[in-house]
């Protein structure tokens, strides 16, 4: 039946019954045990604290609002907070194992400590290349992700990766390197004229090179007459360390002032190269200038300094690129979260 204590009861043996109601306090002595059988529920107050031995759940509710107030649920292996929203309790926050850090792009990262399960890992740029200036006409986007995630006896490794994706398209540059003014006063014919180098990016193909050249050289002078030479220019391109002859141009004797760039006298040439190398390659123009075999006399108008020149112009370069994906250099942030 029911035993109700108004004062105190001290039992040295056992008390057996269905209900025991103590109005003030129940106290166990040293070494005492409070044992509840299967399916027991331990409730404090009106349910602010509830322990369910059958499900292994501890709930702590707001004692001032047991109906719709916030509460915490301690379940086997997890702690979750709940809020009453839109007519029902919704899980808000849950206890998770989390690690944040920074890793090198493409290098394996081992997460510190031991993990209860394989975590979800997100990566984001930290100090990372996000643009390749060699492809100014192409759309570019950065793709980041956690790759090769492994979980072995609580140890987690992964590889943070970021790729720069470059769309295909055409690239065109006018005058990619400075014009060369080569004085025959300083470099006597035969001589070789060369432009500076230009770097063509990886995977460029159908590379169209156009250039211009003009040269004249004076021989001797007598009285008011100057003897001008016929010249021959063998024009070549060096791409990826390989020379290719573009054309041979004959430059008849003329008597121009070549102290400035001879815009109206240039001879034009061009060549198309297949390209397609998997790495960037250098390109430059070369002209071998030699004597063409005869001279012609002209009135001596200009100084020798202004008549004895070769101008070599790398006029333009154009290529096409296929869409490509390249590993971006730098570091990434990461966040790992496990249940």
**Any idea what the CATH number is for the domain that residue 315 is in?**
2.60.120.1310
Q: Are residues 197 and 244 in the same domain?
A: yes
pLDDT at 171: 84
Q: Are residues 148 and 212 in the same domain?
A: no
Q: Are residues 181 and 279 in the same domain?
A: yes
Rounded to 5°, angle at Cα 213 from 269 and 251: 100
Q: Are residues 269 and 198 in the same domain?
A: yes
Q: Are residues 184 and 160 in the same domain?
A: no
Q: Which of 55, 79, 94 is the last residue before a domain boundary?
A: 94
Q: How far apart are the C-alpha atoms of 146 and 159, rounded to whole Å?
A: 6
Q: Tokens in use for 273?
A: 């190269």
For residue 285, the enclosing domain spans 171-321
Q: Are residues 207 and 290 in the same domain?
A: yes
pLDDT at 129: 87
Q: Work out how many domains the chain is built from and give that number.
A: 3
Q: What is the CATH number of the domain that holds 111?
A: 2.60.40
pLDDT at 18: 67
Q: Are residues 182 and 314 in the same domain?
A: yes
Q: Are residues 149 and 65 in the same domain?
A: no
Q: Are residues 121 and 110 in the same domain?
A: yes
Q: Tokens in use for 209?
A: 């090179």
Strands (E), 153-184: 155-166, 169-174, 180-183
Kindly give the confidence (pLDDT) of every residue in the chain, 339 residues in length, as a single tens digit, with 9 standing for 90 and above: 555 556 666 666 666 666 666 666 667 677 776 677 676 666 666 778 888 877 888 888 888 898 899 988 888 778 888 999 999 999 887 778 899 999 999 999 999 999 999 999 999 999 998 888 877 778 889 999 999 999 999 999 999 999 988 888 888 899 999 999 999 999 999 999 999 999 998 889 999 999 999 999 998 888 899 999 999 999 999 999 999 999 999 999 999 999 999 999 999 999 999 999 989 999 999 999 999 999 999 999 999 999 999 999 999 999 988 777 888 899 999 999 997
Quick one: which of 157, 164, 103 has its CA closest to 328?
164
Q: Are residues 208 and 263 in the same domain?
A: yes
pLDDT at 49: 85
Q: Are residues 159 and 256 in the same domain?
A: no
Q: Are residues 79 and 8 in the same domain?
A: yes
Q: Which of 94, 120, 136 is the last residue before a domain boundary?
A: 94
CA distances to 110, 169, 270, 273, 324 from 209, rounded to whole Å, are: 49, 17, 5, 8, 23
């Amino acid at each position: 039946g029911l035993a109700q204590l108004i004062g105190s009861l001290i039992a040295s043996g056992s008390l057996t019954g269905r209900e025991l109601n103590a109005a003030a306090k129940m106290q166990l002595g040293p070494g005492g045990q409070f044992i509840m059988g299967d399916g027991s529920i331990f409730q404090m107050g009106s349910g602010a604290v509830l322990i369910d031995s059958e499900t292994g759940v501890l709930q702590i509710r707001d004692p001032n609002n047991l109906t719709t107030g916030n509460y915490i649920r301690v379940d086997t292996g997890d702690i979750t907070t709940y809020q009453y929203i839109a007519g029902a309790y919704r899980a808000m926050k849950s206890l998770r194992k989390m690690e944040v850090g920074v890793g090198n792009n493409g290098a394996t990262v081992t997460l510190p400590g031991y993990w209860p399960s394989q975590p979800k890992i997100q990566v984001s740029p930290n100090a990372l290349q996000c643009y390749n200036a060699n492809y100014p006409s192409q759309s570019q986007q950065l793709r980041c992700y956690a790759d090769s995630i492994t979980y072995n006896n609580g140890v987690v490794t992964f590889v943070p990766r970021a790729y720069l994706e470059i769309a295909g398209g055409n690239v065109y540059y006018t005058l990619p390197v400075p014009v060369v003014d080569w004085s025959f006063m300083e470099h006597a014919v035969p001589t070789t004229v060369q432009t500076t180098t230009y770097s063509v990016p990886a995977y460029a193909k159908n590379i169209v090179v156009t250039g211009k050249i003009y040269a004249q050289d004076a021989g001797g002078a007598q009285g008011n007459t100057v003897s001008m030479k016929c010249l021959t220019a063998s024009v070549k391109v060096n791409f990826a360390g390989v020379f290719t002859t573009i054309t041979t141009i004959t430059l008849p004797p003329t008597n121009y002032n070549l102290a400035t760039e001879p815009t109206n006298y240039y001879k034009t040439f061009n060549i198309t190269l297949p390209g397609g190398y998997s790495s960037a390659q250098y390109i430059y123009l070369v002209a071998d200038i030699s004597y063409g075999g005869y001279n012609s006399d002209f009135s001596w108008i200009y100084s020798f300094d202004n008549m004895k020149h070769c101008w070599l112009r790398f006029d333009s370069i154009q290529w096409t690129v296929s869409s490509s994906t390249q590993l971006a250099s730098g570091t990434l942030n990461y966040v790992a979260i496990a249940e």
